[in-house]
Amino acid sequence: MTSLDDVYKQIAEFEKKFRGSFYTLFSNMTEQEMDAHPEAVDIHDWRELEKEKQELLGRLRDER
């Protein structure tokens, strides 16, 4: 299992590369638009990291 710190570091790398947050840059794109984007693999990886971050944060909240 990936740690929350690792997820944040990976997300920060994408934010630096693309110069913005995932939600600002890609949240309005359809699945087809993401697939057609030249950086589609990175975008999909980034989206998965964002989902993982939310899951980890949810688990932390539940533990309290």
Give which of 63, 27, 54 is closest to 18, Cα–Cα: 27
For residues 2 and 48, which has the higher predicted lDDT (pLDDT)?
48
Rounded Cα gap, residues 30 and 58, in angstroms: 26
Domain that holds residue 35: 4-63
pTM: 0.89
Q: Quick: pLDDT tens for 14-47.
A: 999 999 999 999 999 999 999 999 999 999 999 9
How many domains are contained in the chain?
1
